[in-house]
Amino acid sequence: MSLRIVVTVKYVPDATGDRHFADDLTVDRDDVDGLLSELDEYAVEQALRMAEELDGAEITVVTVGPENAKDALRKALSMGADKAIHVEDDDIHGTDAIGTSLILAKAIEKAGYDLVVSGMASTDGTMGVVPALLAERLGVPQVTLLSEVSVEDGTVKGRRDGDAASENLEASLPAVVSVTDQSGEARYPSFKGIMAAKKKPVQSWDLSDLDIEAEEVGLEGSYTTVENAAERPARTAGTIVKDEGEGGKQLAEFLAGQKFI
Amino acid sequence: MAEVLVYVDHVDGAVRKPTLELLTLARRIGEPVAVALGNGAGDTAAALAEHGAVKVLTHEASEYADYLVVPKVDALQAAVEAVSPAAVLVPSSAEGKEIAARLALRLGSGIITDAVDLEAGDEGPVATQSVFAASFTTKSRISKGTPVITVKPNSAAVEAAPAAGAVEALSVSFSAQATGTKVTGRTPRESTGRPELTEAAIVVSGGRGVNGAENFGLIEALADSLGAAVGASRAAVDAGWYPHTNQVGQTGKSVSPQLYIASGISGAIQHRAGMQTSKTIVAINKDAEAPIFDLVDYGVVGDLFDVVPQLTDEIRAAHA
């Protein structure tokens, strides 16, 4: 049987756009263009590389999000994933990381998997906790924050570069893996890939397909409450000088005035 | 008074600064009870007591070093069951966030990560976070279960507050998942002798304008003149000029020092995400139009190869 790889991806507001909050203090997703979270491209890439190394792995990408989140799935399919699952339901709006991990875990279990591959964090929430939450929910090992990953004979191996040390990790499948942006440049979809993606299956599931009650997710099911969100005041314009031979000295004077020297 | 569990980040008994900062924050919401695990756990007690820990729960076992994350979650869960705390605080490292997440799930609790401040509230602790590349500040609280909160380094001043620090052995039984992910090898990072990036009071960073690994010596010399940590933009890291562990930005570290000096960094949104909360920001860049200048308290439009050495000389002279 070929290895079943499920890659979790997220559709996020473009970081170069003007991101802000909606009235209910959830992320406003209507006002800014979205795209596949850049860090998830590395997850898709590593899944594709592992599939190339193995014989006949099947890659399923899964996302949770509104209608336009399909764009993230299409991007992953055009990179080379085989099929996609879109979990969409009006009651999902406002779901936090704990709830998201519930939806993803149920969808991954329903899809069937040997290996889950995620990005290290989303580029909007940037919590970086969903892979660990998935491992906890699925009851399988977490092999996370890898800059190198490989699978062989039912074992996943990887290298995790932490602050204090680099660690070599190993776990038996099934397992949850997350990869960093150091794992290897993600490929661009080819024209052929983009055309092929249009014919690849995208399945849509809602909460009832996953046996999840509406009150377990969404704003109502959220375990955290945002009390307020305020735009950070713009920094007041600083002093800018042009270096005409004394720039370093002028800067030193500024730093001395601020008691840094 | 309610007890607050503080997860201790330590290396063979030497407590790292973010944990001492957590003790300051913990005292705002209750009495800090520290949890120290692994080799040297007992040796942490003196430093923790000095900074306000009324109790230090310790447990030494080889599992903490031999397997990833889960043994520590098992131990924290045991500590929560023993203490019934009002909150659990964990340093916001990569591992800290994973430990906190799994613990929250087991407790049926919410989790807040990367808090930059914490205060007591009527309905539990209120955490301040800095989101969307630090363009927004939010205040949030946990609405279900025992609040589990991870806090970023430099979020509070370290304050001495001597307390009993009574050491108690924590009883831990490891779960079936504890041995799931083996650590088969560990290569400690070579010490540069410089402060750790996320903990440093001053960070000096280089970017694309540094134009080569060989030129990072200029950035390091400036950093050393100030006792600062060295950071790098993603462009410099991707070019192979400086290690990824020093990357400041959305996919690297986020830093919040007293002083941030950006040299040859244009200030793309991804970089700003990692440094925008720095107290004082200084930039040196040839391009007067670089977006980094929108953030600075002081900017020099000029060639870093002229400005940085001159600045370094001035600082050395001042310190001489």
Distance CA B87, CA A48 (A): 42
Query: What does pLDDT average to over chain A?
Result: 94
| Cβ within 8 Å, pair B136-A227 | no
DSSP B243-259: -GGGBBSTTSB----SE
Q: Encoding tokens for residue A141?
A: 């090992």
Question: CB A260 to CB B281 under 8 A?
Answer: no
The mean pLDDT value of chain B amounts to: 96
Cα separation of A54 and B190, whole Å? 36
What tokens were used for B52?
A: 């306000």
How far away is chain B from the Cα of A209, in angstroms, using its nearest Cα? 23
Local confidence band at A15 (pLDDT 50, 70, 90 cut-offs) = confident
CA distance linking residue B209 with residue A23, whole number of Å? 41
Please name which of A2, A127, A130, A160 lies closest in space to residue A62, comparing C-alpha atoms: A130
CA A216 to chain B, closest CA, distance in angstroms equals: 12
The ranges assigned to domains in chain B are 3-169, 202-319
Contact criterion met (CB < 8 Å) for B98 and A144: yes
Contact B282 A251 (CB under 8 A): yes
Region B190-195: mean pLDDT is 90
The first and second tokens of residue A144, run together, are 């996370």
* C-beta of residue A38 within 8 angstroms of C-beta of residue A94: no
Quote the minimal CA–CA distance from A18 to chain B in Å.
9
Topology agreement, domain B3-169 and domain B202-319:
yes
Question: Strand, coil or helix: what is A92?
Answer: helix
Is residue A26 very low, low, confident or very high in pLDDT (cuts 50, 70, 90)?
A: confident
Which pLDDT value is given to residue A105? 98
What confidence tens digit (pLDDT) does each residue in B100-150 have?
999 999 999 999 999 999 999 999 999 999 988 778 899 999 999 999 999
pLDDT, residue A226, reads 92
Q: How far is B147 from chain A (nearest CA, A)?
A: 9
The token pair at B264 is 């040859």
pLDDT of A17 reads 78
Looking at residue B263, its pLDDT comes to 98
Please identify which residue in the block is written with the tokens 């009832």: A208
Q: Is the per-residue pLDDT at A123 higher than 90?
A: no
CATH code reported for the domain at B3-169:
3.40.50.620
Give the list of residues 6+ apart from residue A23 with CB closer than 8 angstroms, or none: none
Question: What is the count of residue pairs from A and B with beta carbons less than 8 Å apart?
Answer: 266
Q: Are strands B3-7 and B87-91 parallel, antiparallel or unpaired?
A: parallel
Q: B77: closest CA among A75, A37, B69?
A: B69
* Per-residue pLDDT at A233: 84
Q: How far apart are CA B16 and CA B83, in angstroms?
A: 24
Q: Which amino acid is at B234?
A: R
Residue A10 tokens read as 């997220």
Q: Other C-beta atoms within 10 Å of A220: how many?
A: 13
Q: Is B152 exposed, middle or buried (0-12, 13-18, 19+ CB in 10 A)?
A: buried
Inter-chain contact B288–A240, Cβ cutoff 8 Å? yes
Question: Could you report the per-residue pLDDT of A84-114, keeping only the tens digit for each?
Answer: 999 999 999 999 999 999 999 999 999 999 9
CA distance B307 to chain A (A): 4
Which two three-digit tokens encode residue A190?
Answer: 């080819």
This prediction's pTM? 0.94
pLDDT > 80? residue B1: no
Q: Given the DSSP bridges, would you call strands A155-161 and A165-172 parallel, antiparallel or unpaired?
A: antiparallel
Whether A238 sits inside 8 A of B296 (CB atoms) is yes
* pLDDT on residue B316: 97
Residue of B182, B254, B269 to mutate, testing the A interface (most A Cβ within 10 Å of its Cβ): B182
pLDDT on residue A33: 83
Asked which of A134-138, B66-70, B197-201, B221-225 is least confident by mean pLDDT, the reply is: B197-201
Domain B202-319: state its class.
alpha beta
Q: In chain B, which residues have their Cβ closer than 8 Å to the Cβ of A14?
A: none
Residues in the annotated binding site of B for FAD: 208, 233-234, 247-251, 264-271, 285
More confident residue, A164 or B187: B187
Residue type at A4 in one-letter notation: R
Helix (H, G, I), strand (E, B) or coil at A105: helix
Chain A residues in contact with B315 by the CB 8 A cut-off are 252, 255, 261
Between the CA of residue B253 and those of A33, A43, A144, B17, B262, what are the distances in Å?
A: 26, 20, 17, 16, 15
For the stretch A183-202, pLDDT in tens is 999 999 999 999 999 999 99
CB pair distance less than 8 Å for A142 and B110: no
Cα–Cα dist B295/B301, whole Å: 14
Give the whole-angstrom CA distance, residue B10 versus residue B38. Answer: 9
- Give me the pLDDT at residue A243, please: 97
Asked whether residue A32 carries a pLDDT value surpassing 80, the answer given is no
* pLDDT surpasses 60 at A253: yes
In this model, does residue A1 exceed pLDDT 60? no
Half-sphere exposure of B91 (CA within 13 A, CB side): 23
Determine contact, residues B187/B240, Cβ cutoff 8 Å. Answer: no
Sign of the CA dihedral with A130 first, then A131, A132, and A133 last = positive
pLDDT of B60 strictly over 90? yes
Return the number of other C-beta atoms located less than 10 Å from residue B84's C-beta.
10
What's the pLDDT tens digit per position in A40-71? Answer: 999 999 999 999 999 879 999 999 999 999 99
Share of chain A above pLDDT 90, in %: 82
**Buried b vs exposed e over A234-259: b needs ≥16 C-beta within 10 Å?**
eeeebeeeebeeebbebbbebbeeee
For an interface test with B, which of A223, A239, A259 has the most B Cβ atoms less than 10 Å from its Cβ?
A223
